[in-house]
Structure 1
């Protein structure tokens, strides 16, 4: 059994990202306690879990209990997969029902009595305790360093455009499609979604109607060492003409939200509808589309008219003049 701590800013999206990756690995979510997920999965899931973006860490779940006393009692009996020295670190979640005061010292003493050495400054193994409705203890296996994502934010790229999804969200959209081999972004802009997909080892395809965006996206992809890409200058409402006889495994995209001047002279809602139609035609049966729309556009209704099935919808308020939904559809 594994555990996963997800981020709290888009918790439903984070949970479904984990669910999608576990489905690729043959595992499932066995339970949830606020931001703590119990995963029915083993080592075979590590490559898929390593793709996650809306996550803080994952590890091996060793003990779970209904009270601190029960946790300490069980800790005396279980086998602790500790290598080298260890340290106990406690995460008190917003729904914590237990008194965790002095818990690191108490649990540390129990584990130390089993023959393991403590090192509070540079431990080889980090024992993580989570307090929610219940209490859990496990061994951290992977920490997702936020610096990895922060370093790819828009202003750090060689081709810079201020309007861009955060790299964590871009990667989550890719993962929500459950793409294994390839992905298309028909509104690629500066290539943020393609960058995240390419770093996961996917073949990426991108389209934009502006020549400077096509050139800029290629500059960004090359900067991050991504080589397996196909970028085209063209119209997102005419994907069949750009990719004749091609069906895509997955599509992830963030269409423009702005004025008519930024939408190649077309009305926004008309562009969205025609682009959805084109995406539906080039997506494989069973394939997924992850897409963002402003909240005043009913993406669910428009997509379902075409035959898409809604898999997930997640609300995000960006600022006072923009709130949006991220949608995941399946063909």
Structure 2
């Protein structure tokens, strides 16, 4: 397609299949004609329009993304391509070459930064190792990949929104990166509903992406606490309701949502509104189906036959990702569509 360029994304390694799914979901939103050309360990080489950057900046389970310049299958090939490249098309101001040696790296790259840097210097550019204007990134895996970093996703920016950093918190909550990935997997463009919002972790991430957020919880203290958390992070465009996730049609009688993202409780009947867990999950899925016109991103313990129940209700299960949380909890993250 005209206007398409080579891009790259470096994903996180803890749930790599889910991280790759998040990239695909965002590329679908921005550029339906995208292609993932290759995957080299945690490095994804993409072909997509640069308009994809406006969505890739939403990533949760990634280290960084940028423009991909070229790849090579030997150091000699990399240096030859570097010598023939017009670096002035990609470097503004000073630069630094920064290497990422992945676990599957099969090249001797000990001197790579110095050699590649020297080639770029010969074209008239200055090195700045402390605060460069442009960061040239080289990834070593099955191939050697050279790109220009556009954005990085430092852990600290997510850690400041962890459950225990919020004004109102409970110890059990999704990590912010994971919450954000679930939102992106739901292909949310304008809004998100979380019918089991708890302290509002999913809504915080959605609100920071500029989405309008809707939340429901059985307990008034959770509704009040989630409001406090949203306000703390500067999120104003929200609607929170005290109510039952199994009766969403009554709570939102004239509303259909493009994306629903939620992590239902895994506790005992005492914490589930008096319902047996499997019964709650089934009724919640039926309720969600009634108010959804789009994608659902939801987590269930592996003991619950989610696919069977969801397909009986009418959902199409598109994706699922496994996670072992601890010795007593294994779960799947499901992406469904009605």
The TM-score by the shorter chain falls in which range?
over 0.9
Pairing 1:17–2:17 present: no
C-alpha distance in 1, partners of 2:127/2:15? 36
- Where does residue 44 of structure 1 map in the other structure? 51
SS of the residue 2:245 aligns to:
coil
Structure 1 residues 189-200: aligned runs within 5 Å: 189-200=198-209
Structure 2 length-normalised TM: 0.95
The aligned residue for residue 249 of structure 1 is 258
Corresponding residue of 1:118: 127
Structure 2 counterpart SS, 1:280: helix
1:53 to 48, 52, 60: 60
Q: 2:177 aligns with which of 152, 157, 168?
A: 168
What is the CA–CA distance in structure 1 between the aligned matches of 2:108 and 2:314, rounded to whole Å? 51
Q: CA deviation at 1:263?
A: 0.5
**Counterpart Cα distance in 2 of 1:164 and 1:291:** 14
Alignment match, 1:106: 115
Q: Look up the match of 1:207.
A: 216
Structure 1 segments unaligned to the other structure (5+ residues)? none
* Greater Cα offset, 215-224 or 112-121: 112-121
Distance 1:301 1:153 in 2: 33
Following TM superposition, the consecutive aligned residue runs of length 4 or more in structure 1 with deviations greater than 6 angstroms are: none
Which of residues 226, 230, 234 in structure 2 aligns to 1:221? Answer: 230
Tell me which of 255, 260, 268 is aligned to 1:259.
Answer: 268
Structure 1 residue aligned with 2:3: none
- Aligned match of 1:153 in 143, 159, 162? 162
Paired residue total: 329
TM-score by length of 1: 0.97
* CA distance in structure 1 between the aligned counterparts of 2:181 and 2:81, rounded to whole angstroms: 36
Shift of 1:112: 1.2
Tell me which residue corresponds to 2:239: 230
How far, CA to CA, are the matches of 1:19 and 1:91 in structure 2?
A: 23
For residue 5 of structure 1, what is the aligned residue in structure 2?
10
How many Å separate the matches in 2 of 1:311 and 1:68?
Answer: 41
Moved more, 253-262 or 293-302: 293-302
Are 2:133 and 1:128 aligned?
no
Q: Which runs of 5+ in 2 are unaligned?
A: 1-5
Counterpart Cα distance in 2 of 1:307 and 1:250: 16
Q: Does 1:87 align with 2:92?
A: no
Aligned to 1:329: 336
- Secondary structure in 2 aligned to 1:41? strand
Q: Distance in 2 between matches of 1:160 and 1:129?
A: 41
> Residue by residue, what CA displacement relative to the aligned partner does 1:175-211 show, whole Å, maximum 9, x if unpaired?
0011111111000000000110011111111100011
Q: Distance in 2 between matches of 1:33 and 1:42?
A: 21
Report deviation, 1:144.
0.9
What displacement does 1:90 show?
Answer: 0.9
